[in-house]
Structure 1
Amino acid sequence: MHDTIPVAEIMVEDVVTASPDATVTEAATLLRAESVSSVIVVRDGDPAGILTEGDFATQLCERADLGHVAVRDVMSTPLTTIEPTASIVDAVDLLRTTDIEHLPVVSSAEATTGGDDDATPTEGDDAGELVGIVTTTELTYYVPQLVHRASESRQRPPRRRVRSDTLYERDDWDFEYRGADESTVSVGDVARFSKTLSDDDVEAFAEATGDTNRIHLDEAYAAETRFGGRIVHGVLANGLISAALARLPGVTIYLSQESSFRAPLSIGERATAVCEIVEDLDRAKYRIETAVFDGDDAIVLEGDAVVLVDDLPPMAARDGDAATTQ
């Protein structure tokens, strides 16, 4: 089992280090001479920061001359580290959640260990003894399916243009509309939209909205809450309702939405929004009962919405006719 293999068994013990007072030129020479992708910055025997190939690229874009700049001025800090006794699964999780590729291994109670401990970057006198480094390269040899899981999930199914009222669809999205006439909206019609809410979706939503609550992003933190693990943002789950309504015949304009959150939705679950038109409010306005279900058909949230449905603009109508004749 991967969770029984400690980081100490796969880490590189011969770590390339530099002083904070060294120049960036000296650090770059070390990278080339030692054929490594990072240099750990050590102050008074303790790891204090890191300088990676990515840091060099970033600094070159921001500074005209790096030759005589001190390493301390460009190193990444505070330093995120891991204990040698932590498992390689903990290392993979930590690399993914912090979006880094180099993880110094530090023998200290203060080091980040993943698993059940909080992720606490270390720096200076509190950093402990540097005993090695583990990177995505070493981890790939042991757990390629874990290391590549994030990049593979980003290889989404291709976009396809199949509707006149949405810009694109994806093969892993499902939409169904049940009504007497699919070209108009009527009481009794039902729209369903399904997709898997992936880790990438949650991270992108957090970045776009600023809602970086650790219950959604930090597995170790979330494990200690009442949910026992990370969950999807409630508003992101609610967004599936918007996706279903966007596919009603015509141009759907939200006027109001009320939702009651009934249960958490785990990351990676396929969720389904169901929207039923229950009342014609006149002047192209409709009241719609809304709900989202998880992969076990348990209700996650429910409520209702009021929307205004305009006719499609002439360009979209022409596009739809063209698609029909092809």
Structure 2
Amino acid sequence: MPPADDDRTREERLTTFDVAVREVMRRNVETVTPDASARTLVRQLHEADVGSVLVVDRTGAPVGIVTDSDVLALVVADSPLDETTAADCLSAPVVTVDAEAGIETAAEALREHGIDQVPVLDDGALVGVVSVRELSYYLPGLSLSDVTTRSGGEYAYEDRAAPGIDVGDVARFSKRLDDGDVRAFARASGDENPLHLDAEYAETTRFGHRIAHGVLTLGVVSAALARLPGLVIYLSQSVRFVGPVAVGDRVTAVCEVVDALGGSRFRLYTTVYDDDGEQVIEGEAVVLVEPDEEARA
């Protein structure tokens, strides 16, 4: 005889998938109007330390999205930042999710459309945004390894124990380091070594071709660590550059939590592999991970 359908039985049948997007979304959303200049976008992305800005119309409804990679493409193309507007570089239409939808629906939207965050609407009004970071608190067992970010990167987080960071957890991030990435990094860092920028010169070296900056390659480790659940503060990194990375190669960072040091600090093995699965970087990192209260609000 089946058990009585009492309140306790119903509660036991509930899963994390019954959590609504409204309960986990971030309510602070960076927005601009379509006529905002690209220079305004650059400033807003930098000051808010976010990877994308939503473009909204006069009613506040989202009509497009501009990512940091969209802005980087403008810079690489030497587009006039004061004359180019958000309307010129936005991506549309915008994928959205309803505030009352379950978080599994949001996760499926991220995977299906290859994005890392999605705006949340309530009766057509923009009320927040939800990303892999927020969902990772509630769906630690859900594989998001097929999600591709708009910047061309793929990431995954394997939570092997309870929700939250612990020994055995693994964060991965994979990205193709193309010519635009290398030239943008050279301008930003001032490292204009011709080995990275001049194909003819690079052919005369032991490598026979251009290679990406070592520190640029190491950047995918930082990107992977940023996928850990919580507010991640990079404390230290030891690194050994094992092999070169050709411009245009895809590199993959694998960061495994190997030790809980106390005081919310964790030690991780950090490795980077190239297109052929050969290790190009190895090392260790120490991070401080604090609960992200805003993400839980």
Query: Matched residue of 2:187: which SS?
Result: helix
Q: Superposed, which structure 2 residues align to 1:138-153 within 5 Å?
A: none
Question: Equivalents in 1 of 2:202, 2:149: separation in Å?
Answer: 32
Deviation at 1:205, TM superposition (A): 0.4
Deviation at 1:229, TM superposition (A): 0.8
CA contact (8 A) 1:292 1:301 kept: yes
Deviation at 1:252, TM superposition (A): 0.7
Match of 1:305 in 2: 285
Match of 1:163 in 2: 132
Match of 2:296 among 293, 297, 317: 317
Match of 2:249 in 1: 269
Q: Structure 1 residues 165 and 207, CA, compared in 2 at 3 Å: closer, same or farther?
A: farther
Match of 1:216 in 2: 196
CA contact (8 A) 1:164 1:317 kept: no
1:250 aligns to 2:230 (yes or no): yes
Identity, % of aligned positions: 47
**TM-score, normalisation: structure 1:** 0.47
Q: How many residues matched?
A: 164
Q: Superposed, which structure 2 residues align to 1:7-156 within 5 Å?
A: none
Match of 1:50 in 2: none
Match of 1:290 in 2: 270
RMSD: 2.6
Match of 1:186 in 2: 166
Match of 2:179 among 177, 199, 209: 199
1:183-212 CA-to-partner distances (Å, cap 9, x unmatched) read 301111111110111100000100111111
Relative contact order higher in (CA < 8 Å, ≥ 6 apart): 2
1:125-172 CA-to-partner distances (Å, cap 9, x unmatched) read xxxxxxxxxxxxxxxxxxxxxxxxxxxxxx9x9965233469x94273
CA contact (8 A) 1:276 1:290 kept: yes
Question: Equivalents in 2 of 1:307, 1:272: separation in Å?
Answer: 19
CA contact (8 A) 2:167 2:259 kept: yes
Query: Matched residue of 1:170: which SS?
Result: coil
CA contact (8 A) 2:133 2:227 kept: no
- Mark the structure with the bigger radius of gyration: 1
Structure 2 gaps, min length 5: 1-75, 79-90, 92-112, 118-130, 136-147
Deviation at 1:278, TM superposition (A): 0.5
Question: Equivalents in 1 of 2:164, 2:271: separation in Å?
Answer: 22
Q: Structure 1 residues 179 and 230, CA, compared in 2 at 3 Å: closer, same or farther?
A: same
**TM-score, normalisation: structure 2:** 0.51
Deviation at 1:177, TM superposition (A): 1.3
Query: Matched residue of 1:232: which SS?
Result: coil
Query: Which AA in structure 2 matches 1:213?
Result: N
Deviation at 1:176, TM superposition (A): 1.3
Q: Structure 1 residues 301 and 280, CA, compared in 2 at 3 Å: closer, same or farther?
A: same
Question: Equivalents in 1 of 2:134, 2:215: separation in Å?
Answer: 23
Query: Which AA in structure 1 matches 2:197?
Result: L
CA contact (8 A) 2:224 2:253 kept: yes
Question: Equivalents in 1 of 2:162, 2:279: separation in Å?
Answer: 26
Query: Which AA in structure 1 matches 2:264?
Result: A
